[in-house]
């Protein structure tokens, strides 16, 4: 009877050791997966280049993460009023017709679903060399003006851009989010549930 009790205790110890080993393996695999996901995680941010000293000005999208970003959706709002009214646009044509002109924007990038932004890649969503088209009487010649103090730059500061994207790394199933406005306290917001928070004063 005593021998049976000892054997039973040994089996319990063996089972406990096996359980601990399996648990450690599961935890290790989970941690390894998290590490691999982090190694390929994308991170999109937007910057507004508006200084006259910049050779190319406009709104730049950058992937500062460690892996490519796969675009799921893209939209923008002219200002906070359009945001509150849930009236987005996905084409830059309305913006060009209303407030981008008279500047010549060489870069007008629309992010279609499945558009890939590579690691360390930057691209202008809206980009201009800061030149204005002269009136028709001056033919097609161009001249430069102060973009920083322009009405166009003022409008672009109020623009709200939303982008949803994910990693191309299959195990990473998380959906990532970006909301940008130059007038936000934090220009880039990564939480879709966070409300818009504006600077109390606009310093340009």
DSSP string, 147-160: STTSHHHHHHHH-E
**Sign of the dihedral through C-alpha 138, 141, 147, 105:** positive
Calculate ∠ Cα 70-72-76, nearest 5°: 115
Cα distance between the two ends of the chain: 88
**Domain ranges for the chain:** 1-39, 41-189
More confident residue, 78 or 19: 78
**Tens-digit pLDDT profile for residues 57-81:** 999 999 999 999 999 999 999 999 9
175 pairs with which residues across the strands?
A: 166
Mean pLDDT of the region 122-135: 84
**What local confidence, expressed as pLDDT, does residue 139 receive?**
47
- From residue 101, alpha-carbon distances to 13, 69, 97, 161, 172 in Å are 78, 31, 7, 19, 41
Mean pLDDT of the region 51-55: 92
Q: Distance between CA atoms of 118 and 46, rounded to whole angstroms? A: 15
Q: Distance between CA atoms of 194 and 197, rounded to whole angstroms? A: 9
- Pure H helices in the chain: 2-39, 80-84, 93-95, 151-158
């Amino acid at each position: 009877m005593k021998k049976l009790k000892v054997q039973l205790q040994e089996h319990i110890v063996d089972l406990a050791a096996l359980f601990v080993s399996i648990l450690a393996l599961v935890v290790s695999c989970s941690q390894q997966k998290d590490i691999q996901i982090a190694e390929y995680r994308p991170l999109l941010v937007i910057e507004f280049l508006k200084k006259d000293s910049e050779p190319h000005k406009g709104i730049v999208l950058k992937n500062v993460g460690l892996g490519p970003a796969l675009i799921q959706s893209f939209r923008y709002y002219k200002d906070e009023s359009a945001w509150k009214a849930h009236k987005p646009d996905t084409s830059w044509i309305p913006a060009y017709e209303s407030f981008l002109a008279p500047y010549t924007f060489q870069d007008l990038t629309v992010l279609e679903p499945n558009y890939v932004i590579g690691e360390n890649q930057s691209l202008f969503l809206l980009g201009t060399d800061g030149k204005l088209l002269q009136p028709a009487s001056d033919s097609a010649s161009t001249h430069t003006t102060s973009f920083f103090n322009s009405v166009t730059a003022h409008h672009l500061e109020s623009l709200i851009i939303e982008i949803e994207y994910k990693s191309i790394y299959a195990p990473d199933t998380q959906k990532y989010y970006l909301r940008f406005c130059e007038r936000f306290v934090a220009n880039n917001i990564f939480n879709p549930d966070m409300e818009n928070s504006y600077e109390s004063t606009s310093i340009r």
